[in-house]
């Protein structure tokens, strides 16, 4: 049977680290001393040290929430202003990731792009194709608004393409600019949700060339009665992310069910690429599946260095696994629905 391989991955993040500035901004909005202390404890336990943003520095080199910065003012910028930045910054960051991949544009036959943090038409796929000088006949697929598991959908689509056309060389790109969607809030749950997210892009090459990781069978499941737990609401001031505190517990309960464990084929897995959606989500996966200490070390390291970059995050984790002697790997991500999607993988022989 024909195999599809994830040959290599390139990644990119912007230059500006906004994590500490956001913590100061958020803390100042919490009036209740007990809630402020709770927020501080959760920040310390979050397992995040850096998050990066495409937004320009404020005058004098400050963050976007500093005087003169993008988010300075009595009213936060509207969606149109945020989308203008997305229309230029998303393709630029995606291009950085593709350049880090070092693939030959002349050999690309298909382009699959996933993003949920903005809209622009012509799309990021067309802008990127033009910037790379891809041939006009390259087939394009744009996957939008699927959230954190969109990388699975993108890689699954690339796998289907290669298995049906062994001559295909599919460029898969995920790019997310979550920092464009800061919301005015003093609620601890909302602020903790915003605390997770940063900007990032990744690019992967999927082909029939036996190198990198074999992309084996995909799987998907939607958890019942959980559709309100993760969602994006499009507002006049950006996309408001709702990430319920119930999500880790709901994921843990689902993973503990025998049918789910059987679908994941947990026994014998020697490599895990779990979407770094937050420390509590990684803890939930680790506990529910009774994984050994360090099983999710790669996911935790990506979370520490970059935060949750939505669909790009899983690609950052997979990049760390290419070149290792993986015999049975599982990639797993969660997103709006509440849905879980993933695939099995192994090192190329």
The CA-atom distances, in angstroms, between 9 and each of 143, 211, 226, 314, 324 are: 19, 12, 33, 11, 14
> In angstroms, rounded to a whole number, what is the distance separating the alpha carbons of residues 90 and 87?
6
Asked if 148 is an active-site residue, the reply is yes
- Under a CB-based contact definition with an 8 Å cutoff, are residues 315 and 149 in contact? no
The CA-atom distances, in angstroms, between 253 and each of 2, 116, 222, 248, 250 are: 36, 27, 13, 9, 5
239, with CB counted inside 10 A (0-12, 13-18, 19+), is: buried
DSSP states of 70-118? TT-SSSPPPHHHHHHHHHHHHHHHHHHHHHHHT--GGG--EEEEEE-S-
Tokens of 112: 């699959």
The one catalytic residue among 21, 128, 148, 173: 148
- The number of residues making up the chain comes to 349
Q: Which residues are catalytic?
A: 148
């Amino acid at each position: 049977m024909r195999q599809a391989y994830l040959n290599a991955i390139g990644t990119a993040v912007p230059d500006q680290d906004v994590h500490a500035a956001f913590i100061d901004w958020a803390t100042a909005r919490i009036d209740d001393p007990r809630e402020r202390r709770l927020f501080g404890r959760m920040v310390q336990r979050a397992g995040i040290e850096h998050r990066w943003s495409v937004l320009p520095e404020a005058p004098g080199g400050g963050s976007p929430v500093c005087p003169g910065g993008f988010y300075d003012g009595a009213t936060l910028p509207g969606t149109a202003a945020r989308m203008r930045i997305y229309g230029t910054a998303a393709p630029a960051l995606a291009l950085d990731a593709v350049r880090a991949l070092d693939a030959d544009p002349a050999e690309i036959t298909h382009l699959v792009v996933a993003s949920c943090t903005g809209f622009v038409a012509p799309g990021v796929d067309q802008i990127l194709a033009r910037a790379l000088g891809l041939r006009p006949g390259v087939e394009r697929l744009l996957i939008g608004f699927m959230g954190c598991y969109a990388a699975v959908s993108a890689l699954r689509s690339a796998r289907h393409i290669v298995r049906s056309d062994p001559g295909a060389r599919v460029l898969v790109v995920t790019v997310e600019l979550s920092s464009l969607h800061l919301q005015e809030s003093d609620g601890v749950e909302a602020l903790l949700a915003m605390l997770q997210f940063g900007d990032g892009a990744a690019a992967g090459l999927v082909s029939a060339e036996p190198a990198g990781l074999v992309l084996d069978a995909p799987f998907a499941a939607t958890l019942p009665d959980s559709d309100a737990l993760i969602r994006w609401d499009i507002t006049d001031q950006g996309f408001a992310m709702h990430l319920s505190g119930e999500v880790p517990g709901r994921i843990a309960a689902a993973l503990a069910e025998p049918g789910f464990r059987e679908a994941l084929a947990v026994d014998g897995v020697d490599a895990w690429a779990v979407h770094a959606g937050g420390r509590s989500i990684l803890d939930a996966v680790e506990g529910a599946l009774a994984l050994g200490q360090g099983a999710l070390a790669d996911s935790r390291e990506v979370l520490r260095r970059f935060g949750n970059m939505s669909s790009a995050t899983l690609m950052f984790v997979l990049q760390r696994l290419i070149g290792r002697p993986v015999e049975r790997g599982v990639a797993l991500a969660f997103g709006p629905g509440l849905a879980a999607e993933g695939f099995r993988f192994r090192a190329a022989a």
